[in-house]
Structure formats: structure tokens, C-alpha cells
Chain A
Amino acid sequence: MENSIYLDEARDPLIIAEGWMKDGKEVAIATVVETWGSAPRPVGSHLVIDADGDFHGSVSGGCVEGAVVSEAIDVIDSGKARMLEFGVADETAWQVGLSCGGRIKVYVERLG
């Protein structure tokens, strides 16, 4: 992908989250806060989720987004942030995990 010097507003998760908030939607923000080994998205990457389960951005190469979205909907309901961990060492590796062999930690919080 080209490195634009300006934000790609149509695809930027944090810009989209702000837009959703202005539209009165409830929003959760998921952030990669730690990675070990090979991980597809760097620390700081965002996935933003609304209460209907719509999402933008990514925290992995599509491996764990489904699980993060369902956790995010709980976080929107409860207002309580959660720390999620994914990796091949998990019991659930074959359902939700990183086939690349890495591990990631994802912080999920409600906006507001």
C-alpha cells in the first residue's frame, strides 16, 4: 500500500469511531497492546466495533476479529474493559487463534 501523508479517512478506524459516536452509536475500540513472535498487525492497531457488530480495521489478519467483535458487544453492554489474549497455545486454537504461530494481547474498551 502507498504511504499517503494524509489520513485515509474512509478507512481509518479512529475516524470511523468518531463518526459513529456523532451518529449516536455505541462503540467499542479494540487495540493490539502486545505481540509475541510473528503477528500480522503491529502494536497499536485498532479494530472498532458498534453495538450491531459492524466493524472496521483489524487486530490480526482476520484470524480473531470474529471473537473480538463478540467480546466487544459485551464490553459495550457492561462498560467494563477487557484484556483478551490469542495464540496457538490456546485450547481454542482451532476455532480462534493465529495460524501464523504468534500471540497477541488485545485491549477492548467502550468509547465513553
Chain B
Amino acid sequence: MDPYALKILNAERRARRAAILVTDLGDGRDRIVREGDQVAGDLGAAIARAFRTGNSGSVEAEGRTFFLNAHLPQPRLVVIGAVHISQALAPMAKIAGYPVEIIDPRTAFATPDRFPDVALHAEWPEDVLKRQPLDSYTALAAVTHDPKVDDFALKAALDANCFYVGALGSRKTHAKRVERLLALGASADQIARIHAPIGLDIGAASPAEIAVAVLAQAINAFRSRGLDAKGAAA
């Protein structure tokens, strides 16, 4: 392995950015491909697939055999609101492989009693996200209903290009939210990325069912990363 490639790879991994080490198994030469880099042909298609799935493996292309080692950051879910839905969502998401953090400045809601075994911040999103910024391997679900708590986090999630952004509330509530986010400087394209009303339409009624719908929607967003862009280019 090229020592320089190893350095770049580790720097990307430390920064929670996706990278693939491409090794030619014939001659041992390797290089790093970052997410978004353009690679042509069959090899490029295999690289795009590896970024999406996170699966490593060998691929035959251009008469050679390449090994693609996909290094994706651990995806995670940040929930704004220590509410009933979040109580169900936290353990479910953890089981599905998405560690959860919950942020809610309302100390009556954000108690360890209600949220055992979860990273819980009884603080304003502004303060927590300054310390632990969002990134493109983070999903954000805003479920407080309260603009004072949700809006800043939603804008931050759009700016950080979170792979999933969802907001609880009816269409009417969301229409008002859109106005506020525009006033905060979000673009219409950014705002169109928000899933609202939140969750896949499975007819969810209880808080736990809504949690299932939110988690499924977040997973769907994660596993279809990059597909929209390609569809638009074609």
C-alpha cells in the first residue's frame, strides 16, 4: 500500500468522510477515491455502488481485477426533541445500526429516566451542534413541533447536507415552517429536501409506529444516496 494513500485514507476517516481504497490486485498499485470523484466505466459504476452500500469487494474492469475497500463513516441519527416518539425511535435506530443522540433544552422532557442508554443533551441545539457539528453521514429528525427548538437545527442540517432531514408536523405546520426557513436564508432547493410530514406513509398512528416510519425513511435516504443526482444527470 502506498504510504501516502494510507495517510489520506486515515485523514478522511477521521473527518467522517467516505473514501474507497482501490487496489489493482495484479500489480498492487492503489489510490484513494473520494465520494463525488468522477471515475469512468465499469470501475466507476462499481465504485458508485460501493459508496452507496458500504460493501467492499473485488471487481473485474478493463481486463484487470480491482479490490474496492469502502470506508464509510458510521451513520448516525440526531433527534431534536425528547418526546414520546423519540423514546421509541432511539432503541429501534440503535438496533438498526444508527447510533442516536437526542437534543432537547426542555429539562422536563430530556431526563435520563425517560431515555436510558441514549446520548442525551438537555441543551439548545445551537450549543450542542457547535460542539458536535452535523455532517453528510448524519440524519436529523426534528420532532418537537416547537419552532424555537426545531428551526435552527433544521437549517443547520440542510447546510451540513445531512443525508436525511425530517420534520414532524402537518402540511399546514410545514407551510409556516417553510416561510420561517426562507427567512433564515435557506434556499427553496434546500427546503425541498425536508421530509414533512415526517416518515414513510404507512398509516402510522401511535408514537412507536411513527418512529418506525421515520427510521424506515431515514434508512431509505441513506441507501439511495447519490441515486437522485445520477437520475438528474441522465
Task: Say whether A associates with B.
Answer: yes
Q: Which residue of A lies closest to B30 (CB)?
A: A109
- Judged by a CB distance under 8 angstroms, whether A96 is at the interface is no
- Report whether over half of chain B's contact residues are helix, strand or loop; otherwise say mixed: mixed
How many Å lie between the Cα of A81 and that of B29 in the bound state?
Answer: 11
Complex Cα distance A70/B85, Å? 53
Residue of A nearest to B26 (CB): A81
Q: Does A4 contact B (CB under 8 A)?
A: yes
Q: Across the interface, which residues of B come within 8 angstroms of A42, CB to CB?
A: 56
Tell me which of A3, A14, A29, A107 contacts B99 (CB under 8 A): A3
Chain B residues contacting A112 (CB-CB under 8 Å) are 1-3
Task: Pick the interface stretch among B4-12, B154-162, B184-192.
Answer: B4-12
Do the beta carbons of A2 and B99 come within 8 Å of each other? yes
Within 8 A of B (CB), among A20-44: 21, 29, 31, 33-34, 42-44
Decide if B28 is an interface residue (CB 8 Å cutoff). yes
B9 to chain A, nearest CB (A): 7
Does B211 lie at the interface of the complex (its beta carbon under 8 Å from any beta carbon of A)? no
Count of chain A residues with Cβ under 8 Å from any Cβ of B?
25
Decide if A51 is an interface residue (CB 8 Å cutoff).
no
Given contacts A29-B1, A107-B25, A109-B1, contact A14 B10 (CB under 8 A): yes
B70 at the interface (CB under 8 A from A): yes
Q: Which of B163-197 contact A (CB under 8 A)?
A: none
Give which listed residue, A18, A31, A44, A81, contacts B6 with CB less than 8 A: A18
- Chain B nearest CB from A67 CB (Å) reads 20
Nearest CB of A to B18, in Å: 13
Residues in B23-37 with C-beta less than 8 Å from chain A: 23, 25, 28
| B6 and A4 contacting across the interface, CB-CB below 8 Å | no
Closest B residue to A19 by CB, please name it. Answer: B10
CA distance A52 to B76 in the complex (A): 39
A71 CA to B74 CA, complexed, in Å: 32
Q: How far is the CA of A31 from the CA of B58 in the complex (A)?
A: 12
Neighbouring A residues of B25 by C-beta, 8 Å: 33, 83, 107
* Contact A7/B13 with A21-B3, A43-B56, A83-B25 known, Cβ cut-off 8 Å: yes
Asked if B57 CB lies within 8 Å of chain A CBs, one says yes
Q: Tell me the A65-105 residues at the B interface (CB within 8 Å).
A: 81, 83
Inter-chain contact B97/A17, CB cutoff 8 Å: no
| 24 A–B pairs (Cβ distance < 8 Å), ordered by A | A2-B99, A3-B74, A3-B99, A5-B16, A5-B74, A5-B99, A6-B16, A14-B6, A14-B9, A14-B10, A17-B6, A18-B10, A31-B69, A34-B57, A43-B55, A43-B56, A44-B56, A83-B25, A107-B23, A107-B67, A110-B1, A111-B1, A111-B6, A112-B1
The 10 closest A-B pairs by CB, nearest first: A44-B56, A112-B3, A81-B28, A43-B56, A5-B74, A5-B76, A44-B69, A33-B67, A3-B99, A111-B1
Q: B: which residues have CB within 8 A of A?
A: 1-3, 6-7, 9-10, 13-14, 16, 23, 25, 28, 55-58, 67, 69-70, 73-74, 76, 94, 97, 99
Given contacts A33-B58, A111-B3, list 19 more A-B pairs with CB under 8 A.
Answer: A3-B94, A4-B99, A5-B73, A7-B13, A14-B6, A14-B10, A14-B13, A15-B10, A21-B3, A31-B67, A31-B69, A34-B58, A43-B55, A81-B28, A107-B67, A109-B1, A109-B28, A112-B1, A112-B3
